């Protein structure tokens, strides 16, 4: 398995004049994945124009010829768009989309929705500089694009030009060109003179590696790009990419990236992809009809949203409609370019903050994980002046500004008495870090104070330590409030906060190998774990008292984890299971496992040397044995097992089938007695019924969910009694224990 490989999976709908044909360029397999984040609909005669795509089309589970696809389109009444999956390991996408009407695809309504068209009337300076598009290349032969192009690079073959052979990069460029052309229609005073730099980092199938992604960004920085558009991403942090992101910030290059389209398939497990997840990269989600788009990946790192669906340029000529966060990201790049033209002296930090401040709130009030600060609005951004402390009033907990982990805040203290409060939501137990900078604004360092509080608390939480110039606190899942106090300066003091988060070690630590494996009991059970450090592996060990079946299932709450399971019998070869992809469960089963010691390893297969991850996994161990029911036959009153009072009289039993019932009889001289039933298997509900000698029901009780025991206190007259135990499911993996105790 090559940890550096990434696979681009892209599904299109082709909408011809006669109907719909489906084209899916999907690469399958267990390889590292960087993917673009879009789906597409081709208009009119675009099918004939897409020369690089006309050799083979796939629909459903098999390939069809282009001509056959056109025939198929004639029969199809509507378009059902499948969303392309953002980066991770190769996975089949099947998120169905709503039908798209032809009339809705023939305009550039996103220009109005995001205020780009109106903003041209406000701009007084030409838009100059360079936007780099790191993608599949750009169609260099497209007449609509040629006036806007500058030199680029083909990182896959430096002897060849960065010609697009997939279509995705051309579509991204088409969004920017649509905004540029809008200046002519608005009779604007300013003109678009910014060039597009094609950086080809993906091949015709959308495949490449992490080094090409990082190398593409680095090339753009070193060759004069002012803005870099990244309509692709990884589902994991990568040291090489993190360093090039830092380089971009230090050189004043602003990065814009798509968050991904995982939400439809993974729900709350979908995590914002990298590089969008880095604090200094503008993370762009999708919006539709001025609300969050259900397929767009959300999360605490989301900054802004833009139109999910656009009309853009097709490879080889013609137009097409595409949808996804891939198409939202270039819209924000346009806004950055226009705002930069209006304020050429502004740092990237000021540009980012102005876009956040002027966004149209379209989701839950205030910032939300689906749309960030809201829908990007070019007209509002160009009308706004720089306002460093725009989050005011935030001088108390009740008016605290949102500051999610993994993001940045630029603000300012108005003077020595100014205090700013921020609300920090910890989604897991872990270590929160906050770094403050005041010297990046060329005013020199200043003495500042950061304090973290629980809601309503009078005193702050003790500082856990420092790391990389940041203060750290140990926190539990929930909301906290960060208080930022400035120095004694009477003049305004700008500052920047950057937050981070790290998971705590799990309870199996330091079980990082077989020698330090955490010992568990030989029974069916569940536990949770984390990957809190690089290349973390968590090992447990269990000693089976007798032969049986061992089944291990691992699930995760984030797409940043690709669980892998290693099972090994002591002294034997290990068996590794890594069948599924990011965010999906894995199951490993060892049938007829002999008695003895076994080791269970859980790791993150997202990459070799996988980085720490914010998220958890859950392991379910099932130990299934063929225990003999020592009390059988006791299926009725006549064959009931005799039960003596006291601890010495406790009996063991099994529910071997859903219809199984175990009967017990007990003689008493009268008094208060306690029925004690424990060892109830996880996930099972047991029922205890007590009868008189005449088999009259005297009472019945059921165990509660997640409880492994059931205790009942009952007053009984002298005589003989029967107890009947049943369950809602069979379980032969462990004995339950049943007894009666004198409670007087």
Determine the Cα–Cα distance for residues 299 and 279; give it in Å rounded to an integer: 13
Classify burial at 385, counting beta carbons within 10 Å of its beta carbon; exposed 0-12, middle 13-18, buried 19 or more.
Answer: exposed
CB 599 within 8 A of CB 514: yes
Structure tokens, 62: 């098999």
551-584 in b/e form (b: 16+ CB < 10 A) is: bbbbbbbbbbbbbbbbbbbeeeeeeebbebbbbb
- Strand-pairing partners, residue 619, are 527, 554
| Phi/psi of residue 705, nearest 5 degrees | -55, 140
659 exposure class (CB count in 10 Å sphere: 0-12, 13-18, 19+) = exposed
Instruction: Verify whether residue 343 is a known catalytic residue.
Output: no
CA dist 664 and 563 (Å) reads 46
Of the residues 11, 135, 401, 562, only one is catalytic, namely 135
Phi, psi of 618 (to 5 degrees): -125, 130
The single residue of 11, 139, 168, 265 carrying the catalytic annotation is: 168
- What CA–CA distance (Å, rounded) separates 112 from 109? 5
Q: What one-character DSSP code corresponds to residue 81?
A: P
For 448-462, b/e burial (b = at least 16 CB within 10 A) is: bebbbbeeeeeebee
Active-site annotation holds for 684: no
Distance CA 49, CA 309 (A): 21
Active-site residue flag, 168 = yes
Q: Is 284 helix (H, G, I), strand (E, B) or coil?
A: strand
Alpha-carbon torsion angle 170, 172, 176, 181, nearest 10: 40
The active-site residue out of 296, 326, 499, 603 is 326
Query: What is the distance between the alpha carbons of residues 236 and 238, in angstroms, rounded to a whole number?
Result: 6
Active site residues: 135, 168, 326
């Amino acid at each position: 398995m090559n940890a550096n490989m990434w696979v681009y999976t892209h599904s299109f709908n082709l909408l011809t004049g006669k109907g719909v044909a489906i084209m899916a360029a999907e690469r399958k397999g267990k390889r590292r994945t960087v993917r673009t984040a879009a789906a597409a609909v081709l208009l009119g005669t675009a099918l004939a124009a897409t020369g690089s795509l006309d050799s083979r089309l796939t629909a459903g589970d098999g390939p069809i010829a282009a001509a056959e696809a056109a025939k198929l389109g004639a029969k199809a009444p509507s378009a059902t768009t499948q969303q392309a999956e953002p980066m991770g390991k190769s996975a089949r996408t099947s998120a169905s989309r709503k039908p798209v009407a032809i009339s809705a695809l023939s305009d550039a309504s996103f220009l109005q929705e995001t205020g780009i068209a109106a903003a041209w009337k406000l701009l007084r300076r030409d838009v100059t500089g360079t936007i780099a598009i790191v993608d599949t290349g750009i169609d260099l032969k497209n007449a609509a694009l040629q006036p806007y192009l500058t030199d680029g690079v083909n990182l896959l073959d430096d002897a060849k030009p960065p010609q697009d052979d997939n279509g995705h990069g051309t579509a991204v460029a088409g969004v920017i060109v649509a905004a540029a052309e809008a200046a002519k229609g608005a009779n604007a005073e300013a003109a678009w003179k910014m060039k597009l730099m094609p950086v080809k980092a993906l091949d015709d199938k959308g495949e490449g590696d992490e080094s090409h992604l990082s190398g593409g960004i680095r090339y753009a920085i070193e060759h004069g790009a002012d803005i870099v558009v990244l309509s692709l991403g990884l589902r994991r942090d990568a040291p090489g990419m993190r360093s090039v992101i830092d380089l971009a910030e230090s050189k004043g290059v602003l990065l814009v990236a798509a968050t991904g389209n995982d939400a439809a398939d993974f729900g709350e497990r979908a995590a914002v992809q990298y590089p969008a997840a880095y604090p200094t990269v503008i993370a762009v989600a999708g919006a539709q009809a001025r609300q969050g788009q259900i397929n767009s990946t959300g999360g605490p790192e989301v900054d802004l949203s833009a139109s999910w669906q656009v009309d853009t340029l097709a490879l080889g000529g013609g137009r097409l409609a595409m949808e996804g966060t891939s198409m939202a990201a270039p819209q924000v790049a346009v806004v950055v370019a226009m705002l930069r033209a209006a304020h050429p002296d502004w740092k990237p930090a000021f540009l980012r903050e102005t876009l956040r401040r002027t966004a149209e709130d379209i989701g839950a009030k205030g910032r939300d994980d689906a749309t960030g600060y809201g829908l990007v609005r070019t007209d509002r951004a160009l009308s706004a002046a720089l306002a460093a402390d725009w989050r005011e009033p935030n001088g108390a907990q009740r008016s605290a500004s949102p500051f999610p982990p993994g993001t940045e805040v630029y603000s300012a203290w108005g003077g020595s008495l100014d205090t700013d409060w921020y609300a920090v939501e910890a989604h897991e137990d872990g270590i929160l870090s906050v770094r403050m900078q005041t010297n990046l604004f060329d005013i020199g360092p200043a003495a500042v104070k950061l304090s973290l509080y629980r809601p309503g608390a009078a005193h702050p939480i003790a500082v856990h330590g420092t790391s990389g110039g940041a203060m750290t606190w140990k926190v539990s899942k929930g909301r906290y409030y960060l208080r930022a106090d400035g120095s004694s300066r009477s003049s305004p003091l700008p500052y920047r906060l950057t937050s981070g988060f790290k998971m705590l070690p799990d309870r199996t630590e330091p079980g990082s190998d077989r020698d330090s494996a955490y010992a568990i009991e030989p029974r069916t059970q569940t536990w949770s774990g984390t990957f809190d450090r690089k290349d973390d592996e968590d090992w447990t060990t269990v000693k089976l008292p007798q032969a049986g079946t061992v089944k291990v299932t691992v699930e995760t709450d984030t797409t940043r984890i690709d669980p892998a399971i290693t099972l090994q019998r002591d002294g034997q070869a290990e068996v590794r299971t890594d069948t599924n992809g990011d965010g999906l469960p894995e199951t490993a089963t060892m049938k007829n496992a002999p008695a003895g010691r076994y080791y269970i390893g859980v790791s993150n297969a997202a990459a070799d040397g996988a980085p720490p991850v914010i998220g958890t996994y859950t392991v379910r161990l099932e130990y299934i044995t063929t225990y003999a029911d020592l009390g059988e036959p006791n299926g009725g009153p006549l064959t009931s097992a005799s039960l003596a009072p006291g601890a010495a009289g406790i009996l063991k039993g099994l529910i071997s089938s859903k219809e199984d019932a175990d009967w017990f009889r007990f003689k008493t001289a009268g008094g208060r007695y306690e029925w004690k039933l424990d060892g109830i298997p996880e996930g099972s509900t047991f029922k205890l019924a007590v009868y008189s000698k005449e088999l009259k029901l005297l009472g019945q009780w059921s165990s509660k969910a997640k409880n492994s025991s059931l205790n009942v206190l009952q007053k009984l007259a002298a005589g003989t009694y029967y107890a009947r135990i049943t369950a809602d499911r069979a379980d032969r993996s462990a004995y339950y224990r049943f007894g009666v105790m004198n409670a007087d």
